[in-house]
Every structure is written in structure tokens, then in C-alpha cells.
Amino acid sequence: MKDEERGRAEGIPAEALPQRLDAYLGASRLLPGEAAVTVALSGGVDSVVLLHLLLELQGAWGWRVSAAHFDHRMREGSLREAEWVRRLCQRLGIEHRIGSAHHRPSNEADARDLRYAFLIEALDELGGGLLATAHQADDQAETVLFRLRRGSGLAGLAGIPERRPPGIVRPLLPFWRQEIEAFAQSRGLDYLADPSNLDLSFARNRIRRQLIPAIEAGGLPDLRLQLHRLAGLARRATVAVEPLIEKALHELIAEADERRIVVARSGLLAYDSNVQAHLLRALAARLGQRPGRTGTCLALEFIRTGSSGRGINLAGGIELSREFDRLIVGRRRSAEQPADSELVVETVGGGEAKVRIGGVDWRVRWGPAAAMPVDGQAETAWLDPSELHLPLRVRSWRPGDRIRLAAGTRKLKKVFGELKVGRSERSGLPLLVDEKGVLWVVGLLRGTKARDDASGGSFGVRFASER
């Protein structure tokens, strides 16, 4: 009998739950022996049972068990609940941390973010290790149905994972609420009843208390079991697909850093549209969150029809843009990020300063050749001071900029177009200019006055990226 079915089977005594959990952990290797395990302890029946089960198995496994509780401050009485949890931990003799929100969360997502931020911080304070949450099989079924109604794809239908970074594990996922409550009753365990679980303004409560019971009463009595099975099937399919997606991404990605990923548009379009959707969501997940169904459809349409120089915003602070045959998935610049700056060099004496161009800090050094030691990690242009129209400036590209080349003066915008330099790249290229125009596009193009060796001039300007 499968694990998820075993938990629904009749005739298994509540007292057998510790042995069944022990067998599951032995097979899944979810909690290794001698691990430090912190239980996310809300005080509800699920987390209280999880804590007692781990303490009961602690001797055999050698775990160091602790607990952490977070007060969301979303209802009256939450302070008393936090104190109840504190007394429980003291009575059990385990290390614990109690935290509370600095502001009242505006919604469920905000509350969840605050809770996990505290729990991860508490995990570090308690010695690292693993954070065990008390999600169980009914939570899994409700999550899958919630995502099914929302039109989630394969990854969404996989539901709640048994483990996820950073060190979060769910030991109770194979077990059902009914048997967890029966175990609590058999041991006489006290726990808190969360009144918010009765609030039908929350979508999950409506699913739990109205939708699932109505469907089960209407002729599908094993709905929860089938939803749990669906999560398992989707999870196994996802595990099979992920290596193929990663292999395809490895071949598609031309550039990547912590802020953006560049892929060949023609290469992505060579795949079937369903595969394109998987690849797109995987790219976005590397930088933020996967787009939903609507966002994915909009992004695929843009990939097919969007013109070069255009872009669209996706969920989670991600933007998708096209530059010639390049598709760029990147993080949107936040208002808190420092703006670009401009450096002015008034004389041909020596000096050194930093400048920010395209979100990247550059170290700029200038001076006579004798004062410019060799630096193989930097780029240098040599200039004849008599040919310069001071002051010199280091700044980003602006429409109307021109550069003098051997064939004459050209608009930099046209040169960029001919060299297939997209808009995002243009903004990240530092320019060295004087009062007559652009002398040097650092890393790309030198004008006639900027030479690449010191014999062509006695004054040097050197750039080194601090990326």
C-alpha cells in the first residue's frame, strides 16, 4: 500500500504514528541522524504533534530538537498564544525562539514572508540544521486544488515539496489531519485552536470547509486522496523533466549573472511552444519567481512578435526584453538602487575615482604614462593631451552622441545598431568624452584619438570593473 493510502486506511491505531513516521524518515532520508531540527511551532495540533513525535524519536536518531514561534499580530490573543508556546517549550526542556511582526501583515502572503524570514533567522540562532514545518496530507490536497483552480502548470500541481531550500523539511506530508488529531487525543496533548481557520474570507478556508466537502459529498469521497496522488505524479514528472530543461538552458544561455540572463531568441523559438513555456519559467525562476499562466502566455507572445528594443514586465520584479536576436530576462531596477553617476576630469594631471555606469561600479585612473603602471586586468586608452578639448567626462551613452572613426564622424546609435549592441548593453558601456564628442566606448570601440598603446600618446585613462 502506498504511503499516502496507508494514512487513510482504517484500522491503524493512532499509537502507531511514531513507528510509521520513523519508517518514512528512514526511507526518505528527510531528517538525517544527529541533525539539529527546529520545529516551526504555531501551537496548533499539527505542529504540536510534530514536536512530540520528533522528541519521541530523538533518542533513536540523535537529533537536537528545538522550536521557533512567530506571532503575526493579526488578531487579539496572539500574544497569549506566544506565551503558551513558550511555556510548552520550557516544560519540554527544549531551546526555543519567540518572535513577532514589526508591523501588521497586509495579507496572507505578507504574513508568510514575515514568518519565514523570522524562522530562518531563528534557525541560525539555534545552531543551523533543518527547519521542520507541520504541513500534512490534507494541506497538500488543498494546495493542489487551489492551484488547479488557478490554472497552475506541472510544477504548481506538484504541490508542497517535502524539502526545499534553505533546509526546510515537511515530515508529516504523508499523514492526514484525522490521524494526527487522533494521535493528539490518544496522548492527551494540549494544543491551540486558531480561530482564523474558521474565517471564510480566506480562500484556503473556503476550499477546506466548503469546496472539498461539497465535492466529496457529491460523489467523489476520495477527492483528497486523488489530489494527493496528483501531487505525487506531477512531482515525479517534474523531476524527470528538470534535467532536460537544464540541458536545454545550458545550450541556450549566452550570458548570465545575478541580475540578468541572455538567451538566443532563434534558439528558443526552435522548441515547441510547450517546451518554450517550461524554459521561460525556469529562466525566470533563476532570478525571482516563475510567471503564472497569464504571465507565461504574454511572455511567449512577446517572444514571438515583440520587436527589438521592446520589453514587458513579469511578476516578481522580472522583465523580459528583446535586443535583435537576444532575449534578456532580468531583474527590474528598484528605486533603492543607486543611480548612474558622471565623472569629470578637469586637467591632464593624475587622479583616481569611482563612477557608476549601468548599475556597475568602475574604478577609473588617469595620468601621465609614467604614473600608470601596467595592469593586465584593466583597459587603457592613450591620448595626446594637445588633441583633447577638456574637461574629459566619463558617463553613459546619450542619444545624439557621436564618435570620430577613421571613416569620419558617426552617430553612436547607428554604430551600435551595426554592431548589434542592444539597449541594455549600451547603457552599461562607459564612455570617455571631451567637449567635441566621444573618444572611447570602453570595451567596444576606440575613436581616432584613443590609442591602445602608450606610444600613441602620453596621457592614459584606465578602467577596471568592480562587478
Question: Within this chain, do residues 153 and 18 fall inside the same structural domain, yes or no?
Answer: yes
Burial of 44 by CB count in 10 Å (0-12 exposed, 13-18 middle, 19+ buried)? Answer: middle
Distance (Å, rounded) from C-alpha 158 to C-alpha 409? 59
The reply to whether 87 and 123 lie within a common domain is yes
Task: Report yes or no on 240 lying in a domain.
Answer: no
* Rg of the chain over all Cα atoms, to the nearest angstrom: 30
Domain of 377 in residue numbering reads as 343-465
Query: CA nearest 68: which of 45, 85, 83?
Result: 85
416/420 Cα distance (integer angstroms): 6
In a domain, 244, yes or no: no
Q: Could you give the CA distance from residue 37 to residue 31 in angstroms, rounded to a whole number?
A: 8
Q: Are residues 172 and 72 in the same domain?
A: yes
For residue 331, the surrounding DSSP H or E stretch is strand 326-331
Contact 220, 257 (CB under 8 A): no
**Distance from C-alpha of 398 to C-alpha of 426, rounded to nearest angstrom:** 9
pLDDT of residue 23: 96
In-domain check, residue 337: no
Flag whether pLDDT at 127 surpasses 80. Answer: yes
Q: 336 in a domain, yes or no? A: no
Q: Which helix (H) or strand (E) holds 38?
A: strand 36-40
Domain co-membership, 127 together with 24: yes
How much is the pLDDT for 193? 87
Q: Is residue 196 part of a domain?
A: yes
> Is residue 118's pLDDT more than 50?
yes
78 domain residue, yes or no: yes
112 with 154, same domain? Answer: yes
Total count of domains within the chain: 3
114 — pLDDT class (breaks 50, 70, 90): confident
Closest Cα to residue 132, out of 255, 37, 58? 37
Q: What is the pLDDT of residue 24?
A: 95
Q: Are 212 and 261 within one domain?
A: no
Please give the pLDDT value at position 8. 46
User: Given this model, what pLDDT does residue 365 score?
Assistant: 92
On whether the CB atoms of residues 82 and 71 are closer than 8 A, the answer is yes
Closest to 380 (Cα-Cα) out of 399, 365, 400: 365
User: In this predicted structure, what is the pLDDT of residue 95?
Assistant: 95
Q: What is the CATH number of the domain that holds 9?
A: 3.40.50.620
pLDDT surpasses 70 at 97: yes
For the cut 80, the answer to whether the pLDDT of residue 466 exceeds it is no
Residue 236 maps to a domain: no
**What's the pLDDT score for residue 203?**
83
Most confidently modeled range among 6-10, 89-93, 284-288: 89-93
Where does a domain end: 331, 358, 377? 331
How far is residue 323's CA from residue 424's CA, in Å, rounded to a whole number? Answer: 8
Q: How confident is the model at residue 1 (pLDDT cuts 50, 70, 90)?
A: very low
Same domain, 102 and 77: yes
Instruction: Look at residue 6 in the predicted model and tell me its pLDDT.
Output: 42
**Domain match, 49 and 139 both:** yes
What digits encode the pLDDT tens for the residues 128-154? 799 999 999 999 999 999 988 887 778
Cα–Cα distance for residue pair 453/55, rounded to 1 Å: 72
pLDDT the model gives residue 134: 96
Q: What is the per-residue pLDDT for 456? A: 63
pLDDT of residue 5: 45
Look at residue 54 in the predicted model and tell me its pLDDT.
97
Q: Which residue would you say has higher pLDDT here, 160 or 337?
A: 160
pLDDT (tens digit per residue) in 5-64: 444 445 578 789 999 999 999 999 999 999 999 999 999 999 999 999 999 999 999 999
Residue 239 lies in a domain: no
Proportion of the chain above pLDDT 70, given as a percent: 96
Average pLDDT, the chain: 88
**Segment 390-446, tens digit of pLDDT:** 999 999 988 889 999 988 999 998 898 888 887 777 888 999 999 999 999 998 999
What does the pLDDT look like over 295-348, one tens digit per residue?
Answer: 888 999 999 999 888 888 887 788 899 988 989 998 876 555 567 889 999 988
Query: Residue 4: which pLDDT band, with cuts at 50, 70 and 90?
Result: very low
- The pTM score is 0.65
- Do 190 and 262 share a structural domain? no
Residues 347 and 439 in one domain: yes
Mark whether 322 and 352 lie in a shared domain: no
Region 173-189: what's the mean pLDDT? 95
The domain that holds 267 is classified in CATH as 3.30.465.60
Same domain, yes or no: 40 and 74: yes
Sequence-distant (6+) residues with CB within 8 A of 231 are 140, 141, 143, 144, 157, 158, 159, 160
pLDDT over 90 for what percent of the chain? 52
